[in-house]
Amino acid sequence: EIVLTQSPGTLSLSPGERATLSCRASQSVRSSYLAWYQQKPGQAPRLLIYGASSRATGIPDRFSGSGSGTDFTLTISRLEPEDFAVYYCQHYGSSPTFGQGTKVEIK
């Protein structure tokens, strides 16, 4: 099983700032099997990025994903008020696993 470790646990930023979230895997992950999700309180997760860098349908271009091997990054170029949420990375190959999440909160 691939263990995903996200950092930081909490990111305190202001609207308009750039957010950089990290996801590190315990072993090499095929990029095509790495996704990012956004979850707001009381809501189901929403797919943002798949294949490490492809945006899902309807996702604004301020969200971007990058990385390969064991290190992956989700970048939000300019935070909008609706972007403050918890973000999870996921390996969706055999035996899907999720990271523990990064909370992006308003500073």
Partner 1 sequence: EVQLVESGGGLVQPGGSLRLSCAASGFTFSSYSMNWVRQAPGKGLEWVSYISSSSSTIYYADSVKGRFTISRDNAKNSLYLQMNSLRDEDTAVYYCVLANWGSPFDYWGQGTLVTVSS
State yes or no: residue 60 binds partner 1 (CB under 8 A): no
State yes or no: residue 88 binds partner 1 (CB under 8 A): yes
State yes or no: residue 100 binds partner 1 (CB under 8 A): yes
Binding mask 12-51 for partner 1 (x = CB under 8 A): ---------------------x-x-x-----xxxxx--xx
Instruction: Name every residue whose Cβ is closer than 8 Å to that of residue 46 and which is 6 or more positions away in sequence.
Output: 37, 38, 39
> Six-digit token pair at 17?
């700032």
Provide the 10 A C-beta neighbour count for residue 69: 12
Count of residues engaged in binding partner 1, rule: CB under 8 A? 23
Q: Can you say whether residue 51 is alpha, beta or left, with left for phi > 0 and alpha for psi between -120 and 50 degrees?
A: left
As a whole number of angstroms, the distance between CA 98 and CA 91 comes to 6
Report the nearest approach of partner 1 to the CB of residue 107 (Å): 22
Positions touching partner 1 (CB under 8 A) are: 33, 35, 37, 43-47, 50-51, 56, 88, 90, 92-101
